Amino acid sequence: MESLGKLSFGSTGWGDELLIGAVMTVGLALASVLIGIVIGGKLAFFKLQPNRFFRTIAHAITLLFRGTPEFLVILVVFFGLDILFNALLSALSIELTLSTPKFWAGALGLGLIFGVYASEVFKGAYLAVPKGVIEASRALGLSQFQTIRQVHLPLMWRYALPGLMNLWLVLLKDTSLVAVIAFDELLRTAKVAGETEREPFLFFFAAGALYLLMTYVSDHAKSRIENRVALVGRQ
């Protein structure tokens, strides 16, 4: 019972710190999704090009990211930005010690990973839109640009959503990797708390329960959204 008091809110317990960590985790995941959707859209665009050169490059990037651990990608992005930053500062001969913003380094790394997987989802969704719909909108006199903007893309989202929600669930768990570059999200907060209070088991357990809660909520949101908008499985 005494150790449970360490999870309470206020100045004596770590409850509020853990909650802030959880909010940071969700914030990091949301920022990564925004970056990832932009990257994924661009990559999918290149994958759908008739030009062979662009397609090959896009597929090579996908292969590269699929074969390397997420952990390695995040470390390379973080330290790479760090080295780049310092090189830039010394090149401009600015006497300043700036550290790379960990939140954005983490979001960029996670966004890259999300984007690479999302590009496959987008590509599949783009191709899944029935040909007849496109032909019909052309026959109705919409220009090619209008067809893509007003018919193809809105329909595409509905095919892409289930895949994107799966990627979101993976991403939520991958945010824990950013703890290793010492960004204070949920897992890192739990580690610090556990080391301070000498009760790592309790705090890792609490953090695990919070992750489970986030997954649970996302799972439910996923099935609700899919029921609302998805065309898959509906005639």
Partner 1 sequence: MLEPVMKSLYFWFKGWHYDVGQALCAPMQSVLPASIGPHCPRLFDGFFTTFELVIVALILAFILARTLAQMLAVGPSWTHRLIQAYVYIFQGTPILIQLWLMYYGLAQFEWIRESIAWTLLGSGWWVGLIVLTLNSAAYQTNILIGGIQNLPSGQLEGAQSLGLSQRHTYRQILFPQALRASWPALANEGILLLKASALVSTITVLDLMGHARTVFSRSYDLWVYGGAAFLYIALTAVMTLIAFLIRRYGFQALPADPWFQGMSR
d(Cα 192, Cα 190) in Å, to the nearest integer?
6
Binding segment toward partner 1, per CB under 8 A, in 4-12, 26-34, 154-162, 188-196: 188-196
Binding segment toward partner 1, per CB under 8 A, in 58-66, 104-112, 136-144, 224-232: 58-66
Q: Is 17 in the site for partner 1 (CB under 8 A)?
A: no
Q: Is 191 in the site for partner 1 (CB under 8 A)?
A: yes
The string over 45-70, giving b where at least 16 C-beta atoms fall within 10 Å of a residue's C-beta and e elsewhere, is ebbeeeeeeeeeebeebbeebeeeeb
Q: Is 187 in the site for partner 1 (CB under 8 A)?
A: yes
- Which one, 6 or 158, has the nearer CB to partner 1? 6
Q: Is 177 in the site for partner 1 (CB under 8 A)?
A: yes
Q: Is 221 in the site for partner 1 (CB under 8 A)?
A: no
Q: Is 106 in the site for partner 1 (CB under 8 A)?
A: no
> Hey, how many other C-beta atoms are within 10 angstroms of the C-beta on 232?
11
Q: Is 222 in the site for partner 1 (CB under 8 A)?
A: no
Question: CB–CB of 132/204 below 8 Å?
Answer: no
Question: CB–CB of 28/175 below 8 Å?
Answer: yes
**The tokens of 129 are what?**
């839109």
Q: Is 60 in the site for partner 1 (CB under 8 A)?
A: no
Binding segment toward partner 1, per CB under 8 A, in 13-21, 65-73, 103-111, 143-151: 65-73
3-state secondary structure 111-146: HHHHHHHHHHHHHHHHHHCCHHHHHHHHHCCCCHHH
The nearest distance, CB 106 to partner 1, in angstroms, is 14
The nearest distance, CB 171 to partner 1, in angstroms, is 11
Q: Is 199 in the site for partner 1 (CB under 8 A)?
A: yes
d(Cα 7, Cα 17) in Å, to the nearest integer?
9
C-alpha angle 65/66/69, rounded to 5°? 75
> x/- site string to partner 1, residues 76 to 105, per CB under 8 A?
x--xx--x----------------------
Euclidean distance between the first and the last CA atom of the chain, given in angstroms as a whole number: 55
Residues that bind partner 1 (CB under 8 A): 63-64, 66-72, 75-76, 79-80, 83, 173-177, 179-180, 187, 190-191, 194, 198-201, 204-205, 207-208, 211-212, 215-216
